[in-house]
Amino acid sequence: DQWIGIENQVVSVGRSGNQITLSGMSELSEWLESVVSVITNDGRNLIGRLRGFDQCINIVLEECHERVYSTTAGVEQVVLGLYVVRGDNISIIGELEHDIDAQLDLGSIRAEPLKAIVH
């Protein structure tokens, strides 16, 4: 399992609890054409295929949808299509494990929405 946390355009990559700092560009290029999950600074969870990115870590997601969590209803999936996310609005980005994600029953998951990040 990998995650990338972006802060001031420095990317940290962690594996199994070990954290190291690497160049964000090379790590993101490994995930091109992969399905990723993005948590934004305002608490949104976006899922889509990573089609591109630039030096500011702005990313382009294809077939993107947002998962909206609620304590009273299952997870709502809002289709967004082709979507651009500004790098300064990304908190975490990670590759999504398709097999594990396919086993989730999103209709039965109840959860509080994430709160916005306060700096």
Q: Is residue 47 part of a domain?
A: yes
Number of domains in the chain: 1
CATH of residue 65? 2.30.30.100
Q: Is residue 20 part of a domain?
A: yes
Q: Is residue 52 part of a domain?
A: yes
Q: What pLDDT is recorded for position 16? A: 40
CB-based contact 98:48 (threshold 8 Å)? no
- Per-residue confidence of the chain (119 residues) as pLDDT tens digits? 444 544 433 344 333 443 333 445 667 889 999 999 999 999 999 999 999 999 889 999 999 999 999 999 999 999 999 999 999 999 999 999 999 999 999 999 999 999 998 77
Q: Is residue 57 part of a domain?
A: yes
Q: Is residue 7 part of a domain?
A: yes
CA–CA distance, 106 with 26 (Å, rounded to integer): 32
Q: What pLDDT is recorded for position 44? A: 96
CA–CA distance, 6 with 113 (Å, rounded to integer): 21
Q: Is residue 118 part of a domain?
A: no
Note down the domain range covering 15: 2-108
This prediction's pTM: 0.77
Q: Is residue 101 part of a domain?
A: yes
Q: Is residue 53 part of a domain?
A: yes
